[in-house]
Amino acid sequence: MAISISTAPTGPDLTGAAPPAFAPLRTERLTLRPLRAEDAAELHRLVNDWEVAKTLARVPFPYPRSLADDWIASTWAQLAAGTAFHLAITGLDDGREVLVGCIGLTCQAAKREAELGYWVGRRFWGHGVGPEAAARLASWALAHLELDRLVASALLDNARSQAVLARIGFREKGEGVRDFVSRGGPMKVRLFELTRDDLPAAVQAEKAAPPDGGTPILLVSACALIDPEGRVLLARRPEGKPMAGLWEFPGGKVAAGETPEAALIRELKEELGIDVAESCLAPFTFASHRLGERHLLMPLYLCRRWEGRVTPLEGQALAWVRPGKLAEYAMPPADKPLVALLRDFL
Ligand SMILES: Nc1nc2c([nH]c(=O)n2[C@H]2C[C@H](O)[C@@H](COP(=O)(O)OP(=O)(O)OP(=O)(O)O)O2)c(=O)[nH]1
């Protein structure tokens, strides 16, 4: 992979170097992918623009050409370590890939949060690139990283950026001060936060009109599969589902006309590829919990015997967890009492 030729001095020689593996995130019009060495010249051209740089805390102006190479190399190291996810935003122009901007998340593992930041090249403003890219990365991050929230900030006078954050579900959390390299000092910013519950309705909500003003019951059947070592299987809720990224007991909704046991046997086959006999499902306890406009009623069964190998057939992450460690996994609120009971029982 060659870097673009530039007359200005360049940073590290990235010739032949490649970014770490990261499956690109796609939206209707955009792709978010690791930066490549050959993006450096275009990145420099787009970000070395006062109208862009003045809104960014960590970007100097003027922006030296060599910094683009340094920056790309540093994003690879962070991506490989999982400490930050800085990606190129690209689009198609006459079928040709063009760099549109950059978007990134910097993780603070101890706080279970990450800071979202992005910029879009001036000639791509006004096309909704920011919200499209930011919504995609936010939804991916909450589903795949060990996070409870995303935070972001925008300069007090940057109404455009504040509107983008609000549009994708970020809530205002007051004001703060950030050092802005481009402005040469501290500047006042508006602070924002987004949790799983704030994700837009399309991703988050399980909608159901309550009949006659009542609360509809959502009947879900779930199972604690226990292996010979006494470990419990947890599955991670995939992106696109409500509460994506939280760990749960395998199972799913009971369909009309189905018994809870039949639903569970079906779900365990669909999700994990295992065959379970009804006689191997031991009723253990249940969850009863308000879930948005509905009320979740979830019988939890124990199962120690099944046929076949547990396989994540829906691309979900799985974890076999010792009972004493269950509390370390972020789970839906309805599961908290179940976890305590299970730990005491096993
Ligand atoms: N399976 C499962 N669901 C749980 C747990 N805790 C909890 O609050 N839930 C909630 C999350 C969802 O609102 C609901 C399960 O619905 P779901 O959408 O995952 O069910 P499903 O597998 O039938 O999914 P789908 O086919 O409708 O997409 O129950 C749990 O431990 N396991």
25-202 and 205-345 share one fold: no
Question: Is the Cβ atom of 241 under 6 angstroms away from ligand 1?
Answer: yes
User: According to CATH, what is the number of the domain 25-202?
Assistant: 3.40.630.30
From the CA of 289, give the closest atom in ligand 1. 8
Q: Which long-range contacts (CB under 8 A, 24 or more apart) does 1-7 make?
A: 1/36, 1/37, 1/38, 2/37, 2/38, 3/37, 3/38, 3/40, 3/41, 3/69, 4/38, 4/40, 4/41, 4/42, 6/40, 6/41, 6/44, 6/65
How far does residue 44's CA lie from ligand 1's centre (Å)?
Answer: 45
Q: How far apart (Å, rounded) are the C-alpha atoms in residues 200 and 204?
A: 6
pLDDT of residue 20: 81
Could you say which residues of the chain have pLDDT below 50?
1-9, 202, 204-211
Question: Is the Cβ atom of 291 under 6 angstroms away from ligand 1?
Answer: yes
pLDDT of residue 240: 86
pLDDT of residue 47: 97
Q: How far apart (Å, rounded) are the C-alpha atoms in residues 104 and 34?
A: 10
Q: Which long-range contacts (CB under 8 A, 24 or more apart) does 327-334 make?
A: 329/234, 329/247, 330/112, 330/146, 330/148, 330/245, 330/246, 330/247, 331/234, 331/246, 331/247, 331/248, 332/243, 332/246, 332/248, 333/289, 334/287, 334/288, 334/289, 334/291, 334/296, 334/298
Domain 205-345: CATH superfamily, name plus number? Nucleoside Triphosphate Pyrophosphohydrolase (3.90.79.10)
Among 197, 204, 206, 220, name the best residue to mutate to test ligand 1's pocket (greatest count of ligand atoms within 8 A of Cβ): 220
Q: How far apart (Å, rounded) are the C-alpha atoms in residues 240 and 265?
A: 24
From the CA of 271, give the closest atom in ligand 1. 22
Among 232, 237, 253, name the best residue to mutate to test ligand 1's pocket (greatest count of ligand atoms within 8 A of Cβ): 253
From the CA of 300, give the closest atom in ligand 1. 31
pLDDT of residue 8: 41
Which two three-digit tokens encode residue 116? 């979202």
From the CA of 237, give the closest atom in ligand 1. 19
DSSP H or E stretch at residue 286: strand 282-291
Atom 21 of ligand 1, nearest CA residue:
252
pLDDT of residue 201: 56
pTM: 0.78
For the chain, the structural domain boundaries read 25-202, 205-345
Kind of pairing, strands 318-321 and 185-195?
unpaired
